[in-house]
């Protein structure tokens, strides 16, 4: 076979590979920044007041940290760092004409944002339909439209997305340009097609593998999202699939919990949240964690702390009858508090749906396989020793 033909078939095989792997960046954790600055307790009080007034308790927390992917919108390929969110379904980015004070960020604080400008894209279309989506801290609202989207190696036209003109004030303090929802169509804005609806039929397999790395904060890449295939490089090949609570969300059931001598057996709804740096647990479980770790409540900041030098027990979490281990290094976090204290990265939940919000501590420990085709979620041990 000639060299030219060999090259042709090699290029053809690359072109037919319908999968791609994208590095993830990570935003700063605003929750931890507020703790260091003594603002967190007041923030919690304000948030509780707002939830009582509105009745809304959205899952995606704008005060938290985010794992970010890069996308490009429009004929001029405008770039955006968007947070991957398993709790929502739509794509939205900040609009150039946003009216919220500080919505475009502040250069001095490193929060300067990329904003979408429809006048720079000849493929943009909108009939003027508005949207409004609740988040903790307020609503994101603006105008729906369509434009071409470039995500990794894949490009397509007429992707529905929101161009946000109003965002929660606290969102302005985060260096992110928008949200890419990884959820199911049932929770999308009515009449829109989600990014995942458009992307999945193009892939070798309708799934995403998410692997997140525990780092010291100096790394340029904090994990990978692999679209269309299972990531065997970062994840062990033994995938344990879990049935979902329904076919509309990434919720499933937790069977039992254990830390030290404390254990609790109860079938409760859980959600693995890529947009949550901390882990939400029922308040009774939080009390058990505090006792087993001998944590002390910090009244000034509204958090539980332990000496960074102590060895804390690992956590066992049973899902679908299988025990999963979360090592203490993933839930005891050093955020540079005084007197050598570290924070327990947990918060109490009052809702039953979900009762558990499994944040970074669980996501870093186990690769997540979001299997859209079979409406199930899979977990595989990370190949990295956490």
Distances (CA, A) of 149 to 26, 223, 257: 22, 22, 42
What Rg, from alpha-carbon coordinates, does the chain have? 21
Enumerate the β-bridge partners of residue 72: 79, 150
pLDDT beneath 50, residues of the chain = 1-15, 48-63, 218-219
Establish if 14 belongs to a structural domain: no
Instruction: Determine the pLDDT at residue 38.
Output: 61
- Asked if residue 197 and residue 72 are part of one domain, the reply reads yes
DSSP strand E in 104-250: where? 130-135, 138-151, 154-166, 178-181, 207-212, 223-227, 240-243
Name the pTM for this structure.
Answer: 0.84
Establish if 214 belongs to a structural domain: no
Establish if 93 belongs to a structural domain: yes
Alpha helices by DSSP H, the chain: 3-16, 30-36, 40-54, 195-199, 283-293, 360-365
Distance CA 295, CA 224 (A): 33
Domain with 70 in it: 21-36+58-202
- Asked if residue 188 and residue 257 are part of one domain, the reply reads no
DSSP for 307-322 reads ETTS----EEEEETTE
Structure tokens at 232: 């065997």
- Asked if residue 235 and residue 194 are part of one domain, the reply reads no
- Asked if residue 244 and residue 124 are part of one domain, the reply reads no
- Asked if residue 257 and residue 191 are part of one domain, the reply reads no
Distance CA 252, CA 245 (A): 5
Distance CA 272, CA 212 (A): 13
Residue ending a domain, among 183, 202, 221, is 202
- Asked if residue 235 and residue 195 are part of one domain, the reply reads no
Place of tokens 């929060």: 111
Three-state secondary-structure class, residue 333: strand
Find out whether 188 and 194 touch, Cβ atoms under 8 Å: yes
- Asked if residue 250 and residue 128 are part of one domain, the reply reads no
Establish if 306 belongs to a structural domain: yes
Sign of CA dihedral 257, 86, 138, 192: negative
- Asked if residue 274 and residue 170 are part of one domain, the reply reads no
* CA angle centred on 266, ends 285 and 304, rounded to 5°: 10
Distance CA 40, CA 302 (A): 7
Structure tokens at 183: 């959820």
Establish if 211 belongs to a structural domain: no
Q: Maximum distance among all alpha carbons in the chain? A: 75
Distance CA 281, CA 163 (A): 34
Instruction: Determine the pLDDT at residue 17.
Output: 62
Instruction: Determine the pLDDT at residue 58.
Output: 34
- Asked if residue 31 and residue 180 are part of one domain, the reply reads yes
The closest of 80, 59, 58, 62 to 71, measured between CA atoms, is: 80
Establish if 2 belongs to a structural domain: no
Establish if 222 belongs to a structural domain: no
Establish if 190 belongs to a structural domain: yes
- Asked if residue 378 and residue 245 are part of one domain, the reply reads yes
Residue ending a domain, among 186, 202, 218, is 202
318 burial (CB, 10 Å; 0-12 / 13-18 / 19+) is middle
Instruction: Determine the pLDDT at residue 127.
Output: 95
Instruction: Determine the pLDDT at residue 356.
Output: 96
- Asked if residue 295 and residue 172 are part of one domain, the reply reads no
Three-state secondary-structure class, residue 250: coil
Instruction: Determine the pLDDT at residue 15.
Output: 46
Find out whether 329 and 310 touch, Cβ atoms under 8 Å: no
Instruction: Determine the pLDDT at residue 53.
Output: 37
Instruction: Determine the pLDDT at residue 124.
Output: 98
Torsion of CA 27, 28, 32, 35, to 10 degrees: -130
Place of tokens 């009582």: 52
The domain total for the chain is: 2
Distance CA 330, CA 333 (A): 7
Distance CA 7, CA 133 (A): 49
Tens of pLDDT along 102-158?
888 776 666 678 999 999 999 999 999 999 998 767 889 999 999 999 999 899 999
Count of all residues that appear for the chain in the document: 386
Sign of CA dihedral 136, 133, 144, 197: positive
Distance CA 303, CA 345 (A): 9
- Asked if residue 176 and residue 78 are part of one domain, the reply reads yes
**Backbone torsions φ then ψ of 96, nearest 5 degrees:** -65, -25
Classify residue 173 by its DSSP letter: G
CATH no. for residue 290? 2.40.70.10
Residue ending a domain, among 202, 219, 239, is 202
Find out whether 278 and 345 touch, Cβ atoms under 8 Å: yes
Tens of pLDDT along 190-234?
999 999 999 999 999 999 999 988 655 544 558 899 999 999 999
Structure tokens at 96: 């150039």
Classify residue 189 by its DSSP letter: P
């Amino acid at each position: 076979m000639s060299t030219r033909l060999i090259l042709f078939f090699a290029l053809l095989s690359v072109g037919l590979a319908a999968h791609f792997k994208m590095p993830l960046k990570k935003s700063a954790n605003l929750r931890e920044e507020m703790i260091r600055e003594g603002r967190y307790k007041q923030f919690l009080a304000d948030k509780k007041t707002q939830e009582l007034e509105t009745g809304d308790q959205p899952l995606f927390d704008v005060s938290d940290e985010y794992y970010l992917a890069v996308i490009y919108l429009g004929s001029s390929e405008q770039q955006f760092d968007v947070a991957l969110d398993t709790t929502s379904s739509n794509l939205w980015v900040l609009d150039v004409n946003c009216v919220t004070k500080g919505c475009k960020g502040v250069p001095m604080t490193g929060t300067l944002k990329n904003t979408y400008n429809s006048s720079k894209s000849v493929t943009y279309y909108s009939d003027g339909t508005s949207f409004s989506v609740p988040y903790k801290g307020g609503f994101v609202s603006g105008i729906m439209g369509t434009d071409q989207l470039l995500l990794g190696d894949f490009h397509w036209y007429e992707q529905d997305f929101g161009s946000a003109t109003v965002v929660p004030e606290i969102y302005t303090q985060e260096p992110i340009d928008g949200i890419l929802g990884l959820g199911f169509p049932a929770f999308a804005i009515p009449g829109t097609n989600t990014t995942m609806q458009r992307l999945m039929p193009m892939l070798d397999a309708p799934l995403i593998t998410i692997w997140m790395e525990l780092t010291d904060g100096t790394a340029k890449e904090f994990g990978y999202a692999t679209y269309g295939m299972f990531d065997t490089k970062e994840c062990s090949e033994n995938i344990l699939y879990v049935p979902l609570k329904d076919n509309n969300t990434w919720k499933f059931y937790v069977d039992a919990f254990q830390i030290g001598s404390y254990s609790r057996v109860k079938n409760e709804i859980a959600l693995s949240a890529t947009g949550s740096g901390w882990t939400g647990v029922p308040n009774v479980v939080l009390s058990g964690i505090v006792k087993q770790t001998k944590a002390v409540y910090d009244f000034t900041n509204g958090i539980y702390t332990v000496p960074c030098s102590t060895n804390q027990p690992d956590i066992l979490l049973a899902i679908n009858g299988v025990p999963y281990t979360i090592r203490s290094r993933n839930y005891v976090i050093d955020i540079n508090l005084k007197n050598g204290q570290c924070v327990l990265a947990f918060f109490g939940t009052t809702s039953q749906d979900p009762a558990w919000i499994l944040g970074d501590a669980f996501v870093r420990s186990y690769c997540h396989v979001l299997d859209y085709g079979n409406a199930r979620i899979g977990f595989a041990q990370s190949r990295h020793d956490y």
